[in-house]
Structure 1
Amino acid sequence: MAKSNRRKIRRVNKDIISEVPHEDLISELPQHIRETIVSFLPIRDAVRTSVLSRKWRYCWTMIPHLIFEDEFVNRIMDKLIQYDDPEMKAHKLVSVINKILLLHNGPILKFSFSFCEEDCDSQVIHDYIDQWIPLFSRNGIKQLALEDLQLGETSTHNFSSLDLTHLKLMKLWFPCAPTFGVFPYLTNLELICVEPIDLVASEQRFFNCPVLEKLTLILCDGILLTNFCAPKLKCLRQLCDDITSEYSLAGFEDLTEYSFGLLDGWRTLTKTTNVFGSLPKIEKLYIALKFIRYLAAGRFLETLSKPLPSLKTLNISDIRFDKLSEVSCLLCLIRSAPNLCKLNIVAVCLVEGDLKKYQIKDSGDCTLDHLEIVTFGNFRGLRAELELVKFLLARSPLLKKMLIHYSVFIEKDVAVTVSKEMLQYPTASSSLQIRHLNRSVDIDDFGDFFSYYC
């Protein structure tokens, strides 16, 4: 009897549920909410939302950011595997992008296209970019990124005709006519493996960027700092193959952030210059790869001729603590930054020896009254490293944390001995914590550029 009653109750519940009209809650969302949701999706998924309902059919056509990243391009190229002609593949790929651009109804504030297919005719892609530029101009584009499009001497585009605030170019030739590069609204410029067509013309200023604040130059042979007229530049990031003794930051006295990585060109130099003498406002300084050796070759004194009073963060990567000149250079930078708050150091993993009798000359006139955090990466327990730790502990009354990551090449018993020795050092701070890290703190200002290009 009880079972029969339960069956009746289930039957009645099913009838009630079947009579309740089904509500499409997602389609009842306001139009601006639907467009916001779609704007966070990859372009492929954004287009696919058109099948959800009539209200969703054209939402994707209003998204302001069109991002055609590697995954999108690779999916299309996988479907074109039956074509052997590189030119045909390029036309098929571009036809998909063209269709999206033609159906798009709203403003295009950002356009990003990454293309790394070697068996596809890049010149076809460049030809279509020339056709897209007027379209971008009419749709009010502000950010443009073109990556891995392969160099081609006929591939020059009039980007200065756009009212861009952000421009990122990778693997392109760039025209050098002085009248070409006027970017009145550009605040962020990234050039990666970009080369000028006419090296003679490159001696002139062909980037006129009156409001540019951030400039990134990665392996741009032939493009010099003297090519830029950027009176408001605040952040400069450079990664170079080579450097000359004439390298200078003159004209960029308002820089607050400066990052420089040097691959190998310093070996050919007989002298170096003090590149920091013209940076009175620098707040963050990052030195990587061989640049510390380049600076060390300039025979740094105990302090710079012009101090760095505004420097708050100093990041040093790839320093050798078995080289006296590099250790002296590091100390010079520290002593020249009286307001330093954060110090990050990553040493070279492999070393040739040790400065067994090294000692830091404590003149007593150097106090780091603002230093709060120090991190060491790839710590080997070398004498120069320990002397630096002792110096920092004794001269930093506000030091809160010293984070140390031991190198994989240090033996456990050595690490224990070194840790005990550091605990015996006198400290000026009453709230200091010394912690050991399982892995080194990442201080790379160049993102994935080192791993990709170096």
Structure 2
Amino acid sequence: MKAKRLSKVQRSSRAQRVDRITTLPQTIIEIILCLLPIEEAARTSILSREWRFKWTTIPKLVFLEDTVKMSTEKWHLSNRKKISELERERREKEMRCKLFYAIHQVLLQRQATIQEFTISIYPDETCFEIDQILLHLSRNHTLKRLTLDFLGCNSYRLPLCVFSLHHLTDLHLEHCYVDPKPIFNGLGSLVRLTLNETWISKKPLLHLLSGCPSLKSLCVKLENQIHENRNPSIMKLFKCLTHIEHLTTWGYITRIVQDWMPELPPSLIHLKYFCIEELCFGPSNGFAFLGVLLKCSPNLEKITLEIETDDGYNEIESDNREEKFSLILEKYSDVWLEHLSELEILYYRNVKLELDLLKFILARSPNLKKVKFRTWMFGSREDLKMLRTLLRPPRARLIEFIFV
């Protein structure tokens, strides 16, 4: 009898330990399950009767083709025989079918609305499966965050149903073709937009941005801006970004501005941080775009500049472009960055144009607290001494040097 009592106590204690997890609030359980890969979250259905359908209510779904690829590659490593091209294509098709089957199974068993959906995949020529998935999401769920990454291939054209997701607050697009039609009525709730290596022409881009009045964070790294020979549209672009707080772009989009303009575009009074990647001092107008951006952003708190390391600087010297850029700096000599507290410059090489830009920003930033450098100075003591002298202010600052 005593042994039986002990076994009952043990069973009750085990039941209590199980109940401590099972009886957690549903929101806590969903947070825990969201931290797991979707296949691992689905496997929790075998734990008990209470856990059978808990995974079907998690608000976040992430599907990555690379995870399926990694699981199938284990067999490839064990079987070291060389396979033919036809066999490789067959296995890739089988892997894609496995991924889409998993997605459809998850969507069919959903018992709650989906708030965040991510898919990362290598698209084929038709991509009709993805169109069907996005259409289902637009009709049956109130998505707030959508991430579509097509892994280096721009053949996928974004369907119109994506532009009907009026509850979206975050939209992240990579390697796809975007063309919002004139019937596009806007995404009024969109706060963050990322267009990374995405194909979209200027007019549709402005049409898309004008339909996002709540946009506060924008990352634009486009594929095709340099191929368009239209009139500069910097005025229209800034009008679409009146509420923007964080802006990230790269050097190619800066060609939408000319060196001289009859008037300045609207001020970006809410902009606190901007980053320009691959800032080019070559034939493009990156320097002019930067000058306009500094002039129109009086409340900037942080600037990050990644300088293009292969911009034909020797050709610039032969074309006397240094004089041209000095005139641009003179034009914006009244710029005052009163709120700027942090400056970061990547791949600084200590050539004249970059040095002039550095002097220009430092001279107009009275409250600068931190300067970070990742530089290509190859052990030159003169360069290092010059840089330290330049950054030695009459007031106390925290200066951080990072040499690569």
TM over 0.5: yes
Map 1:154-193 onto structure 2 (within 5 A).
Answer: 172-174=156-158, 182-193=164-175
Letter in 1 for 2:10: P
Q: 1:334 to 1:61 in 2, by over 3 A?
A: closer
**1:436 and 1:330 mapped to 2: Cα distance?**
23
Contact 1:300-1:329 at 8 Å conserved across structures: no
Q: 1:93 to 1:18 in 2, by over 3 A?
A: same
Asked if 1:290 is matched to 2:238, the reply is no
1:173 aligned counterpart, secondary structure? coil
Contact 2:127-2:156 at 8 Å conserved across structures: no
- Aligned with 1:220 (options 188, 193, 199): 199
- Aligned with 2:121 (options 93, 108, 115): 115
**2:295 and 2:10 mapped to 1: Cα distance?**
75
- Aligned with 1:73 (options 46, 55, 68): 68
Q: 1:302 to 1:26 in 2, by over 3 A?
A: farther
Could you tell me which residue of structure 2 aligns to residue 248 of structure 1? none
Q: Which runs of 5+ in 1 are unaligned?
A: 1-15, 152-169, 197-201, 244-263, 440-454
Could you tell me which residue of structure 1 aligns to residue 222 of structure 2? 240
Contact 1:373-1:399 at 8 Å conserved across structures: yes
Q: 1:273 to 1:410 in 2, by over 3 A?
A: farther
Contact 2:275-2:303 at 8 Å conserved across structures: yes
**2:183 and 2:281 mapped to 1: Cα distance?**
42
Map 1:263-302 onto structure 2 (within 5 A).
Answer: 264-265=226-227, 269=229, 272-275=232-235, 278=239, 281-292=243-254, 294-295=255-256, 298-300=258-260
Asked if 1:319 is matched to 2:279, the reply is yes
- Report the alpha carbon displacement of residue 111 of structure 1 after superposing the two structures with TM: 4.1
Could you tell me which residue of structure 1 aligns to residue 42 of structure 2? 47
Asked if 1:21 is matched to 2:10, the reply is yes
Could you tell me which residue of structure 1 aligns to residue 397 of structure 2? 432
Contact 2:188-2:211 at 8 Å conserved across structures: yes
Could you tell me which residue of structure 1 aligns to residue 348 of structure 2? 379
**1:403 and 1:431 mapped to 2: Cα distance?**
16
User: How many corresponding residue pairs?
Assistant: 369
Letter in 2 for 1:422: L
Asked if 1:205 is matched to 2:182, the reply is yes
Letter in 2 for 1:21: Q
Asked if 1:148 is matched to 2:142, the reply is no
Letter in 1 for 2:19: E
**2:265 and 2:93 mapped to 1: Cα distance?**
59
Q: 1:100 to 1:265 in 2, by over 3 A?
A: closer
- Aligned with 1:345 (options 305, 316, 324): 305
Could you tell me which residue of structure 2 aligns to residue 416 of structure 1? 384
What TM-score do you get using the length of structure 2 for normalisation?
0.69
Contact 1:63-1:106 at 8 Å conserved across structures: yes
Q: 1:307 to 1:38 in 2, by over 3 A?
A: closer
2:313 aligned counterpart, secondary structure? coil
Contact 1:27-1:53 at 8 Å conserved across structures: no
- Report the alpha carbon displacement of residue 211 of structure 1 after superposing the two structures with TM: 1.4
Contact 1:303-1:336 at 8 Å conserved across structures: no
Once the two structures are superposed, residues 320-351 of structure 1 have per-residue CA deviations (whole angstroms, 9 ceiling, x without a partner) of 45779654553444344433332222222245
Asked if 1:129 is matched to 2:94, the reply is no
**2:221 and 2:396 mapped to 1: Cα distance?**
38
Contact 2:275-2:305 at 8 Å conserved across structures: yes
**1:291 and 1:414 mapped to 2: Cα distance?**
35
Among the aligned pairs, what percent are the same residue? 24
**2:131 and 2:335 mapped to 1: Cα distance?**
60
2:18 aligned counterpart, secondary structure? helix
Q: 1:102 to 1:28 in 2, by over 3 A?
A: same
**1:399 and 1:352 mapped to 2: Cα distance?**
29
**2:95 and 2:75 mapped to 1: Cα distance?**
6
Letter in 2 for 1:234: L
- Report the alpha carbon displacement of residue 191 of structure 1 after superposing the two structures with TM: 4.2
- Report the alpha carbon displacement of residue 272 of structure 1 after superposing the two structures with TM: 3.3
Contact 1:204-1:226 at 8 Å conserved across structures: no
> Greater Rg, structure 1 or structure 2?
1
Contact 1:194-1:220 at 8 Å conserved across structures: yes
- Report the alpha carbon displacement of residue 399 of structure 1 after superposing the two structures with TM: 1.8
- Report the alpha carbon displacement of residue 288 of structure 1 after superposing the two structures with TM: 1.0
Letter in 2 for 1:352: Y
Q: 1:322 to 1:417 in 2, by over 3 A?
A: farther
Name whichever structure is richer in helix by fraction.
2
Q: Which runs of 5+ in 2 are unaligned?
A: 77-86
1:300 aligned counterpart, secondary structure? coil
Deviates more, 1:374-383 or 1:329-338: 329-338
Contact 1:192-1:220 at 8 Å conserved across structures: no
Could you tell me which residue of structure 2 aligns to residue 230 of structure 1? 211
Contact 1:301-1:332 at 8 Å conserved across structures: no
**2:292 and 2:206 mapped to 1: Cα distance?**
28
**1:284 and 1:140 mapped to 2: Cα distance?**
26
